Amino acid sequence: MKDIKPLLNWAIQNGESKIVDRILVKLLPEFLAVNQKITPEMIENSDEIVVPEKLYLLAKETAENLVSLPYPEK
C-alpha cells in the first residue's frame, strides 16, 4: 500500500487544471476493480490516501504522461 496524495499534489502543482480529474477518469476501471474511491474532498482534506501498490504505479505512470515530467519520488 502506498500514499497517493503526494503524487496527486505534485500533479496539481505541475499540470493543467483538472489534472487529477483526468488521472482518476483514466484509471476509473482500476479504481473500481479494487473498490477504491477518491473524491476531491478526500484530496483536499486527507493527510494521506492509501491505495494498493499496483494502483499507485498506474496512477504515477498516468500522471507523468499527462504532466510530461517524471515524478520526483522521495
For 9-61, how does the pLDDT look when each residue is reduced to its tens digit (9 = 90+)? 999 999 998 999 999 999 999 999 999 988 888 888 999 999 999 999 999 99
* DSSP secondary structure letter of residue 38: -
Note the pLDDT of residue 73.
Answer: 80
pTM for the predicted model, two decimal places: 0.90
Q: Please state the φ and ψ torsions of residue 52, each to the nearest 5 degrees.
A: -60, 150
Question: Which residue is it, cell 505512470?
Answer: 61
- Would you state the torsion angle of the CA atoms of residues 17, 39, 66, 60, taken in this order, to the nearest 10 degrees? 140
Domain locations along the chain = 2-67
Using DSSP, state whether 46 is helix, strand or coil: coil
The pLDDT of residue 40 is: 81
